Amino acid sequence: MSDGRLHITVNGEEKSYESGTDLVGVLRSLEIDPAISAGVAVAVNDTVIRRQAWTHCRLAPGDSVEIVTAQQGG
Distance CA 67, CA 10 (A): 8
Pairing between β-strand 47-49 and β-strand 40-44 as defined by DSSP bridges: antiparallel
Task: Write down the CATH number for the domain with range 5-69.
Answer: 3.10.20.30
DSSP characters over 1-53: --SSEEEEEETTEEEEEETT-BHHHHHHHTT--TTT-TTEEEEETTEEEPGGG
pTM: 0.87
The predicted pLDDT at position 4 comes to 86
pLDDT digit string (tens) for 36-74?
878 899 999 999 999 999 999 999 999 999 999 887 766
Dihedral pair phi/psi, residue 65, rounded to 5°: -115, 130
In the chain, the amino acid numbered 67 is I
